[in-house]
Structures are given as C-alpha cells and as structure tokens.
Structure 1
C-alpha cells in the first residue's frame, strides 16, 4: 500500500487529505494517508472563539457562494443544510472618506449620486472605455496601483482600489501584482479592451444565458453571498477533522525536514519521529514549506522564501447595543490609507451573521496592520485598544469603552502576491520536477481565500491520483 503524508492541518491540508482519500477510493486505489500538524489542534487560521456569548473569528469569517469549490465540499460532507448565509443588509459596504462613511455604489445611478468620488474623479473614470486610456504594457508584471492609475485614475485608486486591496490581502497596491491577485481583471482587459466594455458585453451575455435557462455567476467580480455556519466557520474544519478520524492525524508534531527515503521515495522528519512516504503534500505556508525543503532542495526553499507575508492584528469589541448609536445596517467599512487612521477597517460582525453576539449586544471586528503598517504588530494590548477606540469614536461616534475585548495577532497573516509572483510560481513548478511525488498546496500560490484553498486541495488530490496511476 502506498503512503501519503499531508503536512499541515489547516483547511488546505484537511481538504487535501479528505479529497485525496475519496478520489483514491473511487479509483480503486489503496492509499494510507497521514496528516501531520505542528499545533495541538487542526484548523490553522480558521478558528471560531466563543466567549461570554460572543463569537469571534480568529481569521476568515466565511466564503463567497459564487464559486463552487467550498459549496461542493460541503455537499460532499452532507453539511450544506447547516450553511448560514449572511444577512441581506451585509450587501451594504462603506468607505470612510472625507470624514464620513460613504456607501459603496452598486450601480451607475448610485455611483453618480455618491460623494465618495469627486466629479473630476468621476469624469476621469468615465474615460476608462475610451481610446485615450493606455493599453496594458506588454511583458510587464503591472502593480495594482499602476493599473488603477492607468485605467481609473488616482482618486479611484486611493478611494476604491487601495481599500479593497487592504481588505482582501492586507496588501499595498504599490507592490501587489495585478495578474497574480486579480487574474480575471487582467484577462478582461486583454479580451475586451477595458473594464466597462467587458461589463457591458458580459451583462448582455449573462442576460441571454438567463433567458436560455442557464445558471450563471457573475463573470466580472467576486460577487456572491458571504457564507458560514451558525457556530462559525470553524464548523467546516471540525467536520473535516471528524470525517478523517483520529487515526489519520498526528498533531503537536512540527515537520523539521523532508529528505530522500530508503524504502520509500521520501522521509518526513518531525523531531521525535520519522515517517516514510511515497507522496508528500506540503499544505503549509510558504515560509514553513521553505524550511521543510531546505535540506532536499535549497533552490526551491529560496524561491519559497521570496513570498512575503503581511502582519495582521484582529480586534473584537463587544458593546451593549444601546451604547452604539451609529446605524449598523451593513457589512462594515474600509479606510483609505490617506485618511490617516490606525485601522484598515471594521466589520459589523453581529450585523453580518446571526449568533455573533448576545441578545441586545453587538460585535465589531477591526483589522489593524497589514503590509502598509507592519510595525503595529508590536503594539501592546493597551495601545491596540486605545487606537481602535480612537478610530471608532471618530468614525462611528462610539465614546463608551467596550465590555468585551479580544485581540488576535498574526505575525504572518496573509501571503502577498507581489510583482514577480508569477515568475516565482513558474520557478517552483520547474524545480518541483526534480521531486516526483512532492506536491505544494495552500494559499501561498494561486488565491488566498477559503474557496481558493479548497480549489487548490481539489487540484492537488487529482494530481496525486493521476501521478500514482501513472506509476
């Protein structure tokens, strides 16, 4: 019987192991799978913490249902009936600019009425579909900032693109790669010659497909409804953990290296134990994968170490509802860097999902740090609380101290797809050819979201089965 070791017990590792087991079984293949996780729990950055009636997400708070990957996994696990869609009011999203919260426009008329972008800025945006806008530079890995200035103008970059990038990646648009972060946007420009042209043509296509009775998703943007579970997104990793079973899990064991084996192609060192393997799936962050591969391939390790990570501090504040006079009918808000605030934005968690705060209370979750403010990870708890309170007082008029406070620090929170990321991925693919049976998975490569992790796990499982069938 062949042996597979999956390193990493986060969503990427758990999904890779589960899908690999099922696909191998369906192919009539006998495969022994072991998951090795260095922490004393599985789930990775997915952690739903319940205290004093509040439910705080340590990391991601859900996934968008506009992509099939996680929904399909939930159906396969037979837990899709337990899914919880975000409240309708979560569609309302805001940008803090000019001293007020401006609702993010959802269509043309609301955009024209919005005060978020000035009239000169709107006129600059109106030029986007015209021949006056420069085409994408050939052979250049363009930054998000350069793309934004070129196609939409500086104001749209500052007030729309930059906050979005900080909200999704905790990143700096001046260093992030357009084609690596948002490949669909780059593809639309190449195919249609501009974003507005693409939106118009895709809208016509979508209307026609709906008329023909076809189910279609949004082609231009992420879209979809944020989805989780009543008891938090950790429900998903807990269920995966349960379905895999304790016999497949080795927790509290850090992988210190991967080397060539004697009786098998690979040997995985975990400090006090060595595991033989025909297949090794490294579903760990790039920096951890680099460390594990240092002894077997220094070049591959060096490439992985070129993928940077942004810091993040997550701050949960709980209040009695009567102490918060501001309307919380929405998702929350993001803050452009130019506004000079200390946080990237605040989510109104108890307005997004039910069961996030006790009756008569609200839960706010603020994000601090990111690639633009890496030094914030070193602030004391008191300094973090004070900065968040100052921001909430200015933006939402909240003067009272929160009754509930939880602070979660992530020194290496989110991988940054900076300029050159595509080149690094190509190098990794070439280097991996020297190590048949070694596979990389996770959010360090082609998408940071939960859907992306599950999609990567699916691809990895298919690749492993195909590899074993070819032997």
Structure 2
C-alpha cells in the first residue's frame, strides 16, 4: 500500500486528495492518504464570512460554468443541486473612464456607439486586421502591454487590457506574459493572423456548429455564468473536507521535505513531527513550496522563488439602498490606472447573487493594491476605508457612510505569470524528473481560477495514481 501525503488544504489540495482517493477506489488500488494543512481550517483563500446579515467573500466569489472541471467535481461530491448561478446583472460590466461609467460593448454596433474609446482609438482598433499591424515576435514571450500596443493601440491597452489584467490577476500588463495569462488569445493570433479575423471566422463556425448541435467558444474567451452557492463559495471547500473526513489533518504545518529511507520522502512538521510517504503532492503556494524544498533541491527552490505574488486588500461595504442613486444592474466596474484612483474596481456583489445582503441593503466589494500598488497593503484600516469611500463618491456619487465594513488583507494574494513564466514551468518539469513521486500543483503554475485549480488537481491525481 502506497503512502501519499498532500500538503495544503486549499481548493487545489482538497480537490487533488478527493480525486485521487476516488480514482484509486475505482481502480481497485489501496493507498494510505493524508492531507496536511497548516491552518486550523481548510479552504485556503476560499472563505465566505457571514456577519450582520451580509455574506462577504474573503477571496474568490465563484467560478464560470462554461468549463466542466468544477461542475464535474460538484456533481461527483453530490453538491450540484446546491449550485447558485448569478443573475443576468453579472453579464453587464463597466469601465470607469473620463469621469463616468461605460458599459463594456458586447458587439460591433454597441462598440461604435460607446464613448469609452475615442474615435482615434476606434480607428486604431480598426487597423487590427490589416497588414499594417506587426505580427507576433517569433519565439519570444511577449508582455500583455506589448501585445496590446502592437495589435490594438495604446488607448485600448489603457482602457481595456490593463483594467482586465488588474481585475483578474491584480497584475501589471507591462510585466505579465500574454501566452501564460491568456493562451487562447495568443493561439487565435497565431491561427488566424489577428483577433478581428478570429472573431469573424469563429462567428461563422459557431453558426455552422450550432446548426449541427455543437457549441464553440468565442474569440474573447469561454464565457459562461458566474456560479457559486447560496452559502458562499466556501460551501465547496467545506464539502470536500467533510467528504475526506479523517484524511484531513488541519493545524499541521510542514516546514521541510527531504529524501527519507528506501526512496521515500520524509516530511518534518513545525512541531517536530515526522511523516514518511512514497508520494508527496505539494498543493501549497509556490513561495511555501520553495521554503519546504530548500534543503531538498535548491535548484527547484530557486525557480519557485521566481514566481512572484501580488498583494491585495478586499473591502466589503454595506449600504442602505436609498443612499445609492446609481443603478446597480451589473457585475461592477474596473478602473484604469491612468484615472488616478486608489481602488482597482468594485464588484456589486448583492446585485449578482441573492442573499448577499440584508433586505433593503446592498453589498459592494472593492479591491485595492495589486502589482501596480504594492505599498497599499501597508495602509491603515482608516486610510483604506477613506480611499475606498472617496473612490465610491467619485465613481458612483455615494456620499453616505457605510453601515457595514469588513477589510481583508492578503499579503501574497495572486501569483503573477510574468514574462518568462513558461520557461520557468519547463525548468521545473525538468528539475522534478529525477524526483519520482514529488508533484507540484495549485494556482502558481497554469491558471489561477477555480476551474484551473480543479483541472490541475485532475492532472496531479492522474500522475499520482499512475505511480501507486
């Protein structure tokens, strides 16, 4: 019987452990499985905090249902019937620019009517499918900013790409890798020679495939409906932990991983406890994995330490409905850096999901910090709230004092897939080859979203099962 230890009880570790146990049972393989989590509770950055009738998400607020990974997992653990889709408001997204909120255009006519991009900016975008636009540099990892300037122009970079990058990754487009962050966009450029051409060709293909009962993704991405649970997204991690039962040992931090006897791995806990295993799956963040593996393989640690993280402060504010004049019929808004405000944007949480705020109130969740503003993590709570209120006043005209406030700080919130990320992953793959049975998974490597984490858990569990 193989002994397998999963390190990390976030969504990646919990999913990996559950999938591995399930696959082993179906394959008739016996294994001794343990999950070690340093905190006293599982879930990692997934935490749904209920207070005064509000439901605040500490970290992510859901996943898109257009990809099968998380939906399949929910079905497998028996919680699919409890899924809670966001309403149609979530489809409306806004950008604050030039002193007003602009709804993101969803088609050609709405784009032409929109005042978000100036007419010179629109003309520059119109050049995108022409030979005048430079092609992608061969063999180079291009930054998102370089891609935006090359294909779409500076204005589109400032008002469309940069806010999107800060909203998803809390990242800086000048340093983030196109192919690692948005591989589909890079693929479309290679295949069709441009994004406009890709959209036209995919639209034609979609009509043909829909007629045949098929569905294809759009050029802009997979789309889908933001999905959670009425109890908050923590319901998923709690369900996984409950299903795993005694497999999970919380309050058990691992400080060191090294080679033990007979090709086994030896894990040392913070309290001096020793664990031995045939296979070790590290589902902790890259910086934590680097610390654990420092003595075991300094080269692996060196690469892991090159994966940087952006800090983030999340601010939840509750207001009485009558104190907000601006309609909250949308997902929320993002703010371009050039607008000079303190927040990256604000989500209208209670407009997307029911039961996020008491009757007669609304819940707004603002984001502050990220790779472009790392110093903001050091601001006092009073300064953070003052800046958030000033931005809400500027963007939405809210003068009232919030009746509910919660501030959550994440020192190392989101991994940054900066230029060269693909080479770092290739180096890790090569360095790990001699270490059979040591597997890295999580959102530090090939996707930061919930669907990405579950997809990575599928790959990690398959790799582990093959070694059992």
TM > 0.5: yes
Where does residue 390 of structure 1 map in the other structure? 390
Where does residue 426 of structure 2 map in the other structure? 426
Q: Deviations over 1:150-201 (max 9, x none)?
A: 0000000000000000000000000000001001110110011001111111
User: SS in structure 2 opposite 1:364?
Assistant: strand
1:28 Cα offset (Å): 1.1
Where does residue 30 of structure 2 map in the other structure? 30
Where does residue 4 of structure 1 map in the other structure? 4
1:217 Cα offset (Å): 4.2
Where does residue 52 of structure 2 map in the other structure? 52
Where does residue 85 of structure 2 map in the other structure? 85
Where does residue 103 of structure 1 map in the other structure? 103
CA contact (8 A) 1:329 1:351 kept: yes
Q: How does 1:222-301 map to 2 (within 5 A)?
A: 222-245=222-245, 247-263=246-262, 265-272=264-271, 273-301=273-301
Runs of 4+ in 1 over 6 A off after TM superposition: none
Q: CA RMSD in A?
A: 0.9
Q: Deviations over 1:192-243 (max 9, x none)?
A: 1001111111111121111011244446413111000001000000000111
CA contact (8 A) 1:95 1:103 kept: yes
CA contact (8 A) 1:66 1:218 kept: no
The alignment's TM-score, normalised by the length of structure 1, stands at 0.98
Gaps of 5+ in 2: none
1:26 Cα offset (Å): 1.2
CA contact (8 A) 2:341 2:391 kept: yes
Where does residue 348 of structure 1 map in the other structure? 348
CA contact (8 A) 2:199 2:218 kept: no
1:219 and 1:338 mapped to 2: Cα distance?
27
CA contact (8 A) 2:195 2:219 kept: no
Q: Would you say 1:184 and 2:158 are equivalent positions?
A: no
1:31 and 1:184 mapped to 2: Cα distance?
38
2:118 and 2:147 mapped to 1: Cα distance?
20
Q: Deviations over 1:88-125 (max 9, x none)?
A: 01111000000000000011100000000000000000
Where does residue 302 of structure 1 map in the other structure? 302
Aligned residues: 467
Q: Deviations over 1:323-375 (max 9, x none)?
A: 11111011100000000000000000000101100000000000000000000
User: SS in structure 1 opposite 2:254?
Assistant: coil
CA contact (8 A) 1:264 1:277 kept: no
Q: Deviations over 1:43-91 (max 9, x none)?
A: 0000000000000000000000111110111111121111111010111
User: SS in structure 2 opposite 1:344?
Assistant: strand
The alignment's TM-score, normalised by the length of structure 2, stands at 0.99
CA contact (8 A) 2:188 2:194 kept: yes
CA contact (8 A) 1:264 1:276 kept: no
Q: Would you say 1:330 and 2:330 are equivalent positions?
A: yes
1:271 and 1:119 mapped to 2: Cα distance?
60
Where does residue 378 of structure 1 map in the other structure? 378
Gaps of 5+ in 1: none
1:24 Cα offset (Å): 1.1
1:188 and 1:279 mapped to 2: Cα distance?
38
CA contact (8 A) 1:319 1:362 kept: yes
Q: Deviations over 1:411-444 (max 9, x none)?
A: 0000000011011001000000121000000000
1:263 and 1:437 mapped to 2: Cα distance?
13
CA 1:219 to 1:117, structure 2 compared with 1: closer, same or farther past 3 Å?
A: closer
CA contact (8 A) 1:331 1:348 kept: yes
Q: Would you say 1:163 and 2:163 are equivalent positions?
A: yes
1:34 and 1:397 mapped to 2: Cα distance?
52
User: SS in structure 2 opposite 1:417?
Assistant: coil
CA contact (8 A) 2:188 2:219 kept: no
1:27 Cα offset (Å): 1.2
